[in-house]
Amino acid sequence: MVALILAGLAGWAVWNYLTTIEDEIREDQAIVTVFRAGQRINEGSEGSILFSDFTNNGALIIEGEDQAGDVPPDAITTEEQLNQVLTGRVAAGPISEKSILTEAQWVVVTVDITPLAELIPSGKQALTIGTDSITGVNGFVEPGDRVNMIITLDLEFDLLPPEFSGVVVAPEGEEPPPTEEEAAEEVATVTLTRFVMQGIPVMATGRAVRPDEDAPPTVDAGDQPAEGEEVVDEGPTGNETVFTFEVTPEQAEKIVFAFQAGSIWLTLVPEDFVEVETRGVTIDTLFGGDIVEDIFGSDG
């Protein structure tokens, strides 16, 4: 009887242990809702703006699913929780694209944030443009810097003199001049590269705004690691290549036209930069002379 009782207890213990393991496995395999960063979120990004973008079907935050065992313990799993965590908070640090959003990634702002509109001088406007990492100086541009803008675009020139427009009668024995349709094809295209604007003040890069000289000193909103805590290197965070410029209305028109009509490169300039007058570069002046004459000779 004792042996039977002991065997029964042992069997019950094994069954109970296996049941517990099975429940844990099933719990880890359960599918839960998660929210991921649709693109890289910069440190200091306002959660309220990101949540508003999400509710308007934006691409900054993406809703998805994952196994519970692969989700961090403090992951945000409901839209209500997402609203509670993001409202009134900012990103404590950069959040890489596709990362699952957690509560620990967001901190309460304890200092007043000056709206960007209050930092724009009278008579100026804020204009935002985007480049890639190469044409945008590899992310080295910081708020408060100044940049120059270079444009490359194609210019078309009519090769026929004005008196040849339309259809006219040619003298006897000569070929008639071209019609209007034919004249439209008689154009030359010249590619020109030239500075279109110089010394443009940079108000912001990404969401980082140029500091207000009259504002009181502020502290970093991010959490500092505790003593003895290991600092994890998150690796490369990408280059900031979204710039907000401080411009006049006329300068804003030039910048928008330049981006619509040609390709743009930016150059970063030092604090003592002074504008210089340039004539631009074409294929004919690129090598410092008449390229046709250099290739074919003066009789070519």
Same domain, 89 and 145: no
Same domain, 193 and 284: yes
pLDDT digits (tens, 9 = 90+) for 122-144: 999 999 998 988 999 998 999 99
More confident residue, 221 or 152: 152
Q: Is residue 232 part of a domain?
A: no
Q: Give the residue carrying structure tokens 């069954």.
A: 15
Same domain, 145 and 206: yes
pLDDT digits (tens, 9 = 90+) for 67-86: 888 889 899 999 999 999 99
CATH number for the domain that contains residue 36: 3.90.1210.10
User: Do residues 64 and 34 touch, judged by C-beta distance below 8 A?
Assistant: yes
SS (H, E, C) 20-35: HHHHHHHHHHCEEEEE
Same domain, 247 and 287: yes
pLDDT digits (tens, 9 = 90+) for 15-43: 677 667 665 555 556 888 999 999 999 98
Question: How would you label 68-91 residue by residue, b for 16+ Cβ within 10 Å and e otherwise?
Answer: eeebeeebbbeeeebeebbeebbb
Q: Is residue 230 part of a domain?
A: no
Same domain, 58 and 177: no
Same domain, 168 and 81: no
Same domain, 87 and 164: no
Return d(Cα 120, Cα 209) in angstroms, integer.
11
Counted domains in the chain? 2
Q: Which two tokens stand for residue 164?
A: 């040849």
Q: Is residue 23 part of a domain?
A: no
Model confidence at 176, pLDDT cuts 50, 70, 90, reads low
Beta-strand pair 31-37/263-269:
unpaired
Q: Give the residue carrying structure tokens 């009134």.
A: 88
Same domain, 132 and 168: yes
Same domain, 262 and 140: yes
Same domain, 39 and 170: no
Q: Is residue 45 part of a domain?
A: yes
Q: Is residue 5 part of a domain?
A: no
- Answer yes or no: pTM beyond 0.85: no
Same domain, 78 and 131: no
Same domain, 192 and 287: yes
Return d(Cα 194, Cα 196) in angstroms, integer.
6
Using alpha carbons, list the distances in angstroms from residue 32 to 28, 72, 97, 104, 246. Answer: 10, 11, 20, 19, 45
Largest CA distance in the chain: 133
User: For the chain, what's the residue count?
Assistant: 300
In DSSP terms, which residues pair with 51 in a beta bridge? none
- Domain of residue 46, residue span: 29-108
CA torsion 72-35-240-251 (nearest 10°) is -160
Q: Is residue 51 part of a domain?
A: yes
Cα 128 to the chain's mean position, in Å? 10
Q: Is residue 34 part of a domain?
A: yes
The residue among 88, 112, 130, 100 whose CA lies nearest residue 32 is 100
State the angle between helix axes of 79-86 and 47-55 in degrees (0 to 180), rounded to the nearest 10. Answer: 150
Q: Is residue 181 part of a domain?
A: yes
